[in-house]
Amino acid sequence: MLCSAARATQAGARDEGRGAVTSSTDDFGGFYDERRAAAELKRYREKGPRPWTAALIELLKSEGVEGATLLDIGGGIGVIAHELLATGAASATHVEASAAYLATARAESERRGHAERMTYRHGDFVELAASIGLADIVTLDRVINVYPDWERLVEQSAARSRRLYGLVYPRDRRFVRLVISGMNLAFRLRRQAVRAAVHSPDAVDRILRANGLAPHVSKSVGPAWQVALWRRL
């Protein structure tokens, strides 16, 4: 499963208010559409967070989230925000390029009773970054692997973190690269704009260190995913 924060070339309108989502046109040929969002929500309600997301959430909880603010970039249906708000986080900002996923996240936050503690921003985070404030915790769950200018994304998102920075990204292994190559071929054949990539963990770490973050903990989840947490120096 890829994350829906890949760059939208037509970002459309954005909503800076709480508890509301604007509609606009997404790129990526409808890949992250209502059907996929509904399936993700159904699975989440029945089984909880996916293993890699659950691992990141547990790492964050172990560092303390009481009263913290969250910035979740490419937040999908809002799993990280839902879970952290339920365990003491004060508020969350959810940035998402897919209008369908953002609307699904909003509906779920209303159902769970924490919509007033959520801020929704629709569009490309890199384009929005200058207007987004700092947060105690910044997370990107399976985002950098589908974003074209991933170095800029990591740099600008790191600058928004006051305390903790969490990533889930593909492990740099031959098996994972082969799988992603096959996925990209399928995307091309289906004329879908989304593409995935594997990036060097060392390259990611260099950018984060240059932005004042130090590696704290990293763990593999299954054969494909790495979950990592950095802390502000």
Candidate CATH numbers 3.40.1010.10, 3.40.50.2300, 3.10.350.10, 3.40.50.150; the one for domain 28-232: 3.40.50.150
- With beta carbons less than 8 A apart as the criterion, state whether 90 and 180 touch: no
Q: How many C-alpha atoms does 129 have within 13 Å on its Cβ side?
A: 16
At 143 the pLDDT is 96
> Which SS3 state, helix, strand or coil, does residue 210 take?
helix
Q: Does 134 score more than 50 pLDDT?
A: yes
At 193 the pLDDT is 84
- The DSSP string of 77-108 is TTHHHHHHHTTT--EEEEEES-HHHHHHHHHH
Question: Which band of pLDDT confidence, cut at 50, 70 and 90, is reported for residue 29?
Answer: very low
Helix extents (H) in the chain: 34-47, 51-63, 79-85, 99-112, 125-128, 150-158, 174-189, 201-210
The domain ranges of the chain are 28-232
Q: Rounded to two decimals, what is the model's pTM?
A: 0.88
At 6 the pLDDT is 42
Give how far Cα 51 sits from Cα of 78, 106, 168, 219, Å.
15, 23, 11, 12
Among 160, 177, 176, 128, residue whose Cα is nearest residue 230: 160
pLDDT tens for 137-183 read 999 999 999 999 999 999 999 999 999 999 999 999 999 999 999 99
